[in-house]
Amino acid sequence: RKKMGLLLLLLICQCAINSVKTHNVSKPNIILLMADDLGIGDLGCYGNKTLRTPNIDRLAEEGVTLTQHIAASPLCTPSRAAFLTGRYPVRSGMAAFSRVGVFLFSASSGGLPSEEITFSRLLKQKGYATALIGKWHLGMNCESSNDFCHHPLSHGFDYFYGLPVTNFRDCKPGQGSVFLKGIQKSLVIPIQITGITLVSLAMVQYIGLLKVPFQALGYFLLIITISLVVLIIFFYHFRHLNCFLMRDHQIIQQPMSYENLTQRLTKEAMQFIERNTDTPFLLVLSYLHVHTALYASEDFKGKSKHGLYGDAVEEMDWSVGQVLDVLEKHNLSDKTLVYFTSDQGAHVEEISRAGEVHGGYNGIYKGGKSTNWEGGIRVPGLLRWPGVVQAGASVDEPTSNMDIFPTIAKLADAQLPSDRIIDGHDLLPLLQGKVTRSKHEFLFHYCNAYLNAVRWHPGNSESVWKVFFFTPNFSPEDSNGCYDSHVCFCHGGFITRHDPPLLFDLSTDPEEKVPLTPETESRFYEILRVVHQAVDNHTRSLHAVPNQLSWDNLLWKPWLQLCCSSLFQSCHCDSESGGSSLQMH
């Protein structure tokens, strides 16, 4: 009887332990930290020796480092759409056929469609408190300035504090403009044509060859003048119209101030965690660092070895440390999965007007933001969950930022949508060391809406083949980017098509230096055959959807403009100034 009683007691204890383990692994808190334009070579845990990132490195020491973590796109808007939905951006219409691949204005009508299911929506349905703090860049309104059809709160977030578009150079006085060069190039030909037309009409009128009604000429001149005036006014007020902070649906600072901005974002994140210590929560902290315009608070300015860029990286690392500290303070570390990444690689062409490098470092990898060379899409991928995922482990298998969707959906006990293709895969078996191979046999690399390259990791091989159908034309030719145009483009004279496609084996040539040939790779044509078959299968899985980045959806529409005062008062308000900032440690 004593033995039976003891056995029963042990059984009850084991059940209780299993119950606790199951509870811990089920419905953890989720914190997703996303940098903007951070290079994989900017972090100590990925080999940087001069930038100080101890808090981000701590995630690597206490968790898993993904060394072949791939962004679904090398541009902000499509990459973030893929991240939130677990799907290639071309499936949701968030990939452009035009030259412009991201949203530029707060009053554009395009955005992440309401039909798309985000991980925030799934987790909210499972009782999670959900918040997005920082950059959004996935649209705002559809038909009126207050329908908020694309707003974070319409996509499953309970709380939003941040920037609806992105951090442009134009947002910070004295930092130049990302539009000026493009506008100058775009307007030169139309102005020349208009000028030549007007002079020609005046001449034929003077000679008497043709009678041009002065009224028609007047209307034509009036339209041209009004268009130019609107354009000049818009770009003169660009900062007020597009660079502002919101809390939920309300504008709280227009234009946005950079003073203690990272501290304010961090404070909001910490307060959200402290409001939800007894509730499972999802926090997406989407940093403005290190997209230009670069900025850093006084506590970090001039402290790094890499100018303002390094200061910004080190300030972001401080913020990550603050978030980790608040988890420890409330005994939440063991109950929280923390993920750190960047939306794409470093923007290598970013150089200030003073000649200072304002772009990051992509390590050994070629190219950068806007390209599907490894430097544009291979990003940091760090995941920490003490006691659940391996500590100090490294995974060299191909993984994607689309994998976060199914991973956290499963942890929240949420059902994946069955009416659509989810391109991501659950990462937990890899993170726990239960499997050693990624489920991604193929990854498709899009340049906007154009299929640019394919990665193939055969199940029976260590090779990672990468096939390029076209590559961007770098300018200057011997450089590592498209410096003449500031970013690389995806079609026409901006690219070189390859037939046969370029082939690399990333397992032996991660720098993509030497394309393989039929002479240097005996399976050359067999590899291309398999990849072409995979492309055919993938293409058949795509369905026509409205293009959210069409010119119509990209253009500024005055009736969609968010303004906290009025357009005549230059859209100015500030309920943020005078707020307390976090103490530096």
- CA atoms of 393 and 58, how far apart (whole Å): 12
Q: Mean of the pLDDT values across residues 367-388?
A: 98
CA distance 293 to 297: 13
Asked if residue 334 has pLDDT above 90, the reply is: yes
Q: What is the CATH architecture assignment of 29-167+243-439+544-560? A: 3-Layer(aba) Sandwich (3.40)
488: β partners: none
Residue 489 has pLDDT above 90, yes or no: yes
Give me the pLDDT at residue 568, please: 66
Cα angle: 533, vertex 537, 539; to 5 degrees? 110
Give the torsion sign (CA, 492, 496, 497, 501).
Answer: negative
> pLDDT: is 432 or 584 the higher one?
432
Distance CA 388, CA 337 (A): 9
0.85 surpassed by pTM: yes
With a pLDDT cut of 90, the percent of the chain lying above it is 80
| Residue 76 is among the residues annotated as catalytic for this protein | yes
Q: 3-class SS at 575?
A: coil
Q: Does residue 244 have a pLDDT over 60?
A: yes
Residue 117 has pLDDT above 60, yes or no: yes
What is the average per-residue pLDDT within 334-361? 95
**At residue 268, does pLDDT exceed 60?**
yes
User: Can you give the pLDDT at residue 21?
Assistant: 41
Average pLDDT over residues 255-281: 97
Look at residue 223 in the predicted model and tell me its pLDDT: 80
Q: Indicate if the pLDDT at residue 188 is higher than 70.
A: no
Closest CA to 242 of 251, 255, 230: 255
Rounded to the nearest 10°, the torsion over CA 110, 116, 119, 125 is 120
291 is catalytic: no
Active site residue: 76, 243, 482, 488, which one?
76
Q: 368-382, 418-432, 559-573 — which is least confidently predicted? A: 559-573
Helix, strand, or coil (residue 497): strand
**pLDDT grade for 227, boundaries at 50, 70 and 90:** confident
In the chain, ranges of CATH 1.10.287.550 domains = 178-237
Q: What mean pLDDT do residues 524-544 have? A: 98
The residues of the chain that CATH labels 3.40.720.10 are 29-167+243-439+544-560
Say whether pLDDT at 226 is over 80: no
> Exposed, middle or buried, 109 (CB in 10 Å: 0-12/13-18/19+)?
buried
Stated as kind and residue range, the H or E segment containing 33 is strand 29-35
196 pLDDT exceeds 80?
no
Structure tokens at 374: 């490894």
| Catalytic pick among 69, 137, 347, 457 | 137
Taking residues 358-370, what's their average pLDDT? 97
What average pLDDT does this structure show over 393-407?
98
| 57-66, 112-121, 275-284, 484-493: least confident range | 484-493
The three-state secondary structure class of 384 is strand
Task: Determine how many CB atoms are found less than 10 A away from the CB of residue 574.
Answer: 15
As a whole number of angstroms, the distance between CA 63 and CA 107 comes to 41
pLDDT for the residue numbered 14: 54
The predicted structure's pLDDT at residue 182:
58
CB 443 within 8 Å of CB 437: no
Model confidence at 528: pLDDT above 80: yes
Residue ranges with strand state E in 202-354: 245-247, 250-254, 281-286, 336-342
For β-strands 393-395 and 495-505, DSSP reports them as unpaired
Q: Is the pLDDT of residue 15 over 60?
A: no
pLDDT band at 19 (very low <50, low <70, confident <90, very high): very low
CATH class of 178-237: mainly alpha
Structure confidence at residue 136 (pLDDT): 98
pLDDT reported for residue 186: 60
Residue 365 has pLDDT above 50, yes or no: yes
